[in-house]
Structure formats: C-alpha cells, structure tokens
Amino acid sequence: MINILFAARPEQWPEYSPHLRSAIAESGLNAQLSTNLPAEHVDYIVYSPAASVRDFTPFKRLKAVLNLWAGVEGIVSNDTLKVPLARMADSGMAEGMVDYVVAHVMRHHIGMDAHLDNPNRAWVERCPPLARDRRVAILGIGALGSACATALVGLGFDVHGWSRSSKDLQGVTSHSGAGGLKKILPLADIVVLLTPSTAQTANLINAQTLALLPKGAVIINPGRGPLIDDAALLSALDSGHIAHATLDVFRTEPLPKDDPYWSHPNVTVTPHIASTTRPETAAQRVVENIRRNEAGQPMLNVVDRRAGY
C-alpha cells in the first residue's frame, strides 16, 4: 500500500480529493490518500507552501514531495527535505497563463486602453503595427514561458526568449545568461516576466535593466513579485521611459490599498489571477509522478535544488 499525505491547505482538500482519488483509480496504483497519516508511514506528500508541514525529518520512508504550485521558493531551501521535490506544471495552469499573457500582449499591441478610456473623444486614425513588427521578449522559457512564446509566435509576433541556458523553441529567438539579457532588452517592445523567483532573479527588473529597454516599452508581470525593483519601476513609469506596467504578482499580497501601484495612471493591477493550479489536471500530474517513481522511471519537473527551481 502506497500512503499519500495531502498536506496542502485544508480548504483545498474538498477540491482536490475527488480528482486525486479518480486519478489513483485510473492509474491502477494500490494507494490510499488522507490528510491524517502517521509520519512514519507516509510515502508521498502532496504539498503547498502554505501548508503546516515544515519539518520533514519525521517522514522516515518519504520518497518524494509533490508541490501543487509552480513556484517552489517556499520549500526549496528547507534543509529538512532530503527527497526529490517536483514542482507543478499541469496543462491547465499553462493554458490559463497563455490566456492571460496573450490577452495583455494584444491589449498593449493594439493600444486598446486609449479607446477604452477616451473622455475627450479624440479621433486619432493611427493603426498599430502588424504583429510581425512587434517584438515581445519573454524572460523565463520554462513550461509556462514556452507555452506563451509558442502562442505568440502563432499570432505572428517577433518573439525572443531569455533563460539561464539557451533553449531551442521553434520560431523563438533564444538568448541566455547575463550577456543574453543585455542583448534582448533593447529589442523588446513588450516584456513578459515568467522566470522563477530565486536569489539570482531577485530585482531582475531594476534601474539598470529598465534603462536598456527602448523608450515606451511595456512590462507584463504574471510571474513573481520579487522579480521587480518596485521603486525603480515606478521611477521609470514617472519619467515616461516605461509606458505601462501590467502587474499580477507583488511582494506583498493582497497588495496594500495604499500601495502606489493602485493609483498610478500607467499601471494595471490584477489580483494574482493570471493562472492557477487546476485540481483536475494537477491531480493527474501528481499521480503520474507517483506512478513513474514507483515504476523506477524519472519523475516530471523535478526541482534542481541548487538552481532553486
């Protein structure tokens, strides 16, 4: 019998348990799922960083921890975790992120804001460029970034991607490392932030990197709040160097009501809605990883603890 402990937030249990049990049944695994198992009997933990489990030492026969979030910054540095950690990369999360990114890239590409808020009834006959003439840079070409890049390529955009190491993605010009970042930013009309949150990516968007962007560039951040130096971004917005920032994630959430982002005329705040883990597809990914591990096969999306993602 494989013992699976559900150690995510209590309110997630009613959402996830039927999908997890269905996926277990379909997999043919002889497994039980519970929110209450003796630590010494647990083989796998289904986890979210908001859960109460912090010390993994009592879980003597633990084989893996399966995170329900794409981000693992809340657990990756836990010294008591000695077994493999798999991050979530379910198809539903990717689809939701594509919807958000494509919608806001198209919004800024077309210049929809000028038509939605036009109190002076200005009639300006200025068509936007074609998508092929709009350069979009996606910083972070992981599972979510790759899905968004592929969708934008399909719409005809000139898409550039940046990541720690070079990626080969059809239709996307790849850049990597510090040199690649300096090369990609001056090309970018629209920047989409989808890198993981690590010590290396903290304040990736700062006064120096903002200065590399062409005047009038737009920033879209559905990734992680700490990727942006907020003071530097506000300064670049005030000067007009950055035309607009659409922000879905923040260092403090919910975003405090007195935060200057709320009142800035060139900032759009969305309340962390770009995408989320979908219980049905996430359950399938969790159980597939358990099946793989039990069969001696490599699990999907295992975190590189040294890299932080």
Q: Per residue in 13-29, pLDDT tens?
A: 999 999 999 999 999 99
| Bigger pLDDT: 87 vs 307 | 87
DSSP class of residue 64 equals E
Both tokens of 153, joined, read: 């390529």
Instruction: Assess contact for 28 and 253: CB atoms under 8 A.
Output: no
Please tell me which residue in 107, 241, 272, 305 is annotated as part of the active site. Answer: 272
- Measure Cα distances from 230 to 211, 236, 263 in Å: 14, 10, 14
pLDDT band at 278, cuts 50/70/90?
very high
Strand partners, 32: 3
Catalytic residue among 135, 164, 224, 244: 224
End-to-end CA distance of the chain: 31
| pLDDT in the model for residue 124 | 93
List of residues 6+ apart from 278 with CB closer than 8 A: 90, 92, 93, 96
Average pLDDT in the 220-226 region? Answer: 97
H helices of 155-201, in order, are 177-184
Residue 104 designated active-site: no
Lowest mean pLDDT among 61-75, 96-110, 211-225, 243-257: 61-75
Contacts of 152 (CB under 8 A, 6+ apart): 101, 102, 105, 136, 138, 159
Mark whether 224 is an active-site residue.
yes
Using an 8 Å Cβ cutoff, are 5 and 25 in contact?
A: no
pTM of the predicted model, to two decimals? 0.90
Q: Evaluate if residue 265 carries a pLDDT over 80.
A: yes
